[in-house]
Amino acid sequence: MAEHLSQSELDYPFKLLEYFNGFRVSKVIFSACELGVFDLLTTSPCALSAQQVAQSLHASVDGTERLLDALVGIKILHVELQDGTALYSSTDVASVYLAKSGAKSLHDMALYQSQTIYPLWNNLADAVREGKNQNRKTFGIPPEEVFQAIYRSEEEMLKFMGLMDSSWVLDGHDVVTAFCLDGFRNIVDFGGCTGALARELAKAYPSSSVTVFDMPAVVETATQRFLRENDTFTFQSGDFFHGELPAADLYVLARILHDWSEDKCLTLLKRIYDICKPGGGVLLVEAMLLESRRGPIQAQLFSLNMLVQAEGRERPPSEYTGMLRRSGFRDVQLCRTGKSYDAILARR
Ligand code: SAM
Ligand code: ASE
Supply the pLDDT for residue 3.
Answer: 53
The predicted pLDDT at position 201 comes to 98
Domains 2-98 and 167-347 share a fold: no
CA distances 293 to 19, 106, 128, 265, 315, Å, are 21, 28, 18, 20, 8
Give the per-residue pLDDT at 4: 54
Calpha distance 330→269 (Å, rounded): 13
Q: Where is 64: in which H helix or E strand?
A: helix 61-73
Pocket test for ligand 2, best of 111, 121, 133, 163 (most atoms within 8 A of CB): 163
| CATH H superfamily, domain 167-347 | Vaccinia Virus protein VP39 (3.40.50.150)
Relative to beta strand 77-82, strand 85-90 is antiparallel
Per-residue pLDDT, 105: 97
State the distance from the centre of ligand 1 to the C-alpha of 145, rounded, in angstroms.
13
Residue nearest to atom 14 of ligand 1 (CA): 193
Residue from 145, 306, 315 to probe ligand 2 pocket by mutation (most atoms less than 8 Å from CB): 306
What is the per-residue pLDDT for 314?
98
List the domain boundaries for the chain: 2-98, 107-162, 167-347
- Choose among 34, 264, 244: nearest CA to 147: 264
Pocket flag, ligand 2, residue 310 (CB < 6 Å)? yes
pTM, 2 dp: 0.96
Task: Give 237-249 pLDDT, tens digit per residue.
Answer: 999 999 999 999 9
What is the pLDDT, as a whole number, of residue 1?
Answer: 47
Length, in residues, of the chain: 348
* pLDDT number for residue 5: 52
Q: Which residues pair with 158 in a beta bridge?
A: none
Q: Report the separation in Å between the CA atom of 189 and the middle of ligand 1, taken as the mean of its atom positions.
A: 9
Q: Is 305 near ligand 2, meaning CB less than 6 Å away?
A: yes
320 Cβ below 6 A of ligand 2: no
Tell me if residue 173 is catalytic. Answer: no
**Cα 179 to ligand 2 centroid, rounded to whole Å:** 24
Check if the beta carbon of residue 236 is closer than 8 Å to that of residue 246.
yes
pLDDT at 46: 98
Paired sense of beta strands 186-190 and 209-214, if any: parallel
Look at domain 2-98 and name its CATH class.
mainly alpha
The pLDDT tens digits of the residues spanning 170-204 come to: 999 999 999 999 999 999 999 999 999 999 999 99
Burial state string for 143-179 with b = 16 or more CB within 10 A and e = fewer than 16: eeebbebbbbeeebbbbbbbbbbbbbbbbbebbbbbb
Which residues of the chain fall below pLDDT 50?
1
